[in-house]
């Protein structure tokens, strides 16, 4: 039986559904050109020394720290939440940072299965972080989406009732692959309605299963028309997950959607972002295309489970070198 937790719902701004517009789906790409632009753009920033520590900490604060394992328990979800709240012990920074600034260094969200949302909410509540760290729940039959629509929508409702403030849904790839974009739109509209004003909607495209860059662009547009707050690359379970060329195509869609509608939508690469250098390449790509102001949790996230390990190593090594000077 679902236990409904009493908690304060944060006041949040969410995107709303726009009418389906097939004209937004007309696009042609040169794959080689996309790959060349993504590579050259993502390498424009040279980051070293103290600057790399700052970028690493920025990446940490943009991370949805994730556990999506079949053996997840209340205990390891609690450990995940503690790490999201307190990624570093204060003493490692020495005199490099003011101690009060350390309270602001935490992950953007924790991401778990719907059945583990209540555990995450309880842990964040104990650390006083319910209002500063979001709880994202993967839903709608993650990772395949091969479930009946009624059960997928109910999963959203259950996750929000348990304390989720963000819902990461998976789109129906079967509809996308046969070109039924109206069908994809209709389903995501219902998922947007299920979230309402209570939770942000992040739509997972599962780019490794869409077949082409054109389909990635079209899926991005359809989800944004349906009211997505974020478009997300992957579940992390596909053979191909977040890549910079795919990210660039999604960025082009975000730019065109904003130009045509005035609506701003966030981006979330997930799966394959494992090192600080990976994260810096993504942040550079976003900075050079969408602008530096996009590098905030409201507009850009990393979905990752192992990224924090490398960030911790980079920060510790960088601080140690600074203290030796």
pLDDT in tens, the chain (325 residues): 233 333 333 446 999 999 999 999 999 889 999 999 999 999 887 777 778 888 999 999 999 999 999 999 999 999 999 999 999 876 666 555 555 556 688 999 999 999 999 999 999 999 999 999 999 999 999 999 999 999 999 999 999 999 999 999 999 999 999 999 999 999 999 999 999 999 999 999 999 999 999 999 999 999 999 999 999 999 999 989 999 999 999 999 999 999 999 999 999 999 999 999 999 999 999 999 999 999 999 999 999 999 999 999 998 888 777 766 5
Contact 304, 59 (CB under 8 A): no
Choose the catalytic residue: 268, 278, 287, 310. Answer: 268
Choose the catalytic residue: 64, 168, 278, 310. Answer: 168
User: What tokens appear for 3 in the block?
Assistant: 């236990």
Beta bridge pairs of residue 270: 303
Find all residues with CB under 8 Å of 22, minimum gap 6, and list them. 181
pTM of the model: 0.92
User: How many Å apart are CA 265 and CA 227, to the nearest integer?
Assistant: 9
Distances, alpha carbon 162 to alpha carbons 31, 82, 118, 240, in Å? 43, 19, 5, 32
Number of other residues whose CB lies within 10 A of the CB of residue 302: 25
User: What tokens appear for 154 in the block?
Assistant: 């109910």
Is the omega angle on the peptide bond into residue 49 within 30 degrees of 0, that is, cis?
no
**Which segments within the chain are labelled E, that is strand?**
63-66, 109-112, 134-139, 166-170, 200-204, 230-232, 266-268, 302-304
User: How many Å apart are CA 229 and CA 223, to the nearest integer?
Assistant: 9
CATH homologous superfamily of 23-324 equals Aldolase class I (3.20.20.70)
User: How many Å apart are CA 151 and CA 173, to the nearest integer?
Assistant: 17
**Which segments within 144-257 are labelled E, that is strand?**
166-170, 200-204, 230-232
Choose the catalytic residue: 52, 232, 278, 310. Answer: 232
Specify the pLDDT at position 92: 65
Specify the pLDDT at position 7: 33
Specify the pLDDT at position 316: 85
Specify the pLDDT at position 14: 96
Looking up tokens 């972002």 gives 273
Going by C-alpha positions, the residue among 3, 13, 25 that lies closest to residue 260 is: 25
User: What tokens appear for 270 in the block?
Assistant: 């997930």
Is 268 a residue of the active site? Answer: yes
Specify the pLDDT at position 100: 53
Angle between helices 74-85 and 117-126 (to 10 degrees): 40
Number of other residues whose CB lies within 10 A of the CB of residue 159: 31
SS3 232: strand
Going by C-alpha positions, the residue among 301, 285, 199, 305 that lies closest to residue 245 is: 285
Contact 246, 26 (CB under 8 A): no
Torsion of CA 39, 43, 44, 46, to 10 degrees: 180
DSSP 62-75: TEEEE---TT--HH
């Amino acid at each position: 039986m679902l236990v409904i937790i009493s908690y304060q719902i944060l006041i949040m701004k969410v995107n709303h559904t726009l009418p389906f517009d097939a004209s937004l789906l007309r696009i042609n790409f040169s794959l080689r050109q996309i790959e060349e632009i993504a590579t050259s753009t993502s390498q424009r920033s040279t980051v070293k020394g103290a600057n790399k520590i700052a970028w690493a900490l920025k990446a940490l604060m943009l991370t949805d720290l994730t556990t999506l394992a079949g053996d997840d328990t209340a205990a390891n979800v609690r450990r995940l939440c503690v790490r999201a709240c307190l990624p570093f012990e204060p003493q490692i920074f020495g005199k490099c940072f003011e101690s009060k600034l350390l309270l602001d260094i935490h992950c953007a969200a924790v991401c778990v299965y719907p059945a583990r949302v209540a555990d995450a909410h309880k842990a964040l509540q104990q650390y006083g972080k319910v209002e500063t760290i979001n709880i994202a729940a993967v839903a709608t039959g993650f990772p395949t989406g091969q479930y009946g629509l009624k059960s997928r929508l109910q999963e959203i409702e259950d996750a929000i009732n348990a304390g989720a403030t963000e819902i990461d849904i998976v789109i129906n790839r079967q509809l996308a692959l046969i070109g039924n974009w109206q069908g994809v739109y209709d389903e995501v509209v219902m998922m947007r309605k299920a979230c309402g004003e209570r939770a942000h909607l992040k739509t997972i495209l599962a780019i490794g299963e869409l077949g082409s860059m054109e389909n990635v662009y079209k899926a991005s547009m359809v989800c944004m028309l349906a009211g997505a707050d974020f478009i997300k690359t992957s579940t992390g379970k596909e053979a191909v997950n977040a890549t910079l060329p795919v990210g660039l195509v999604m960025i082009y869609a975000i730019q065109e959607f904003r130009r045509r509608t005035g609506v701003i939508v966030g981006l979330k690469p997930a799966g394959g972002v494992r090192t600080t250098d990976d994260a810096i390449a993504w942040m550079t790509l976003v900075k050079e295309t969408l602008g530096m102001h996009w590098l905030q949790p409201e507009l850009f996230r990393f979905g990752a489970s192992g990224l924090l390990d490398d960030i911790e190593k980079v920060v510790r090594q960088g601080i140690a070198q600074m203290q030796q000077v």
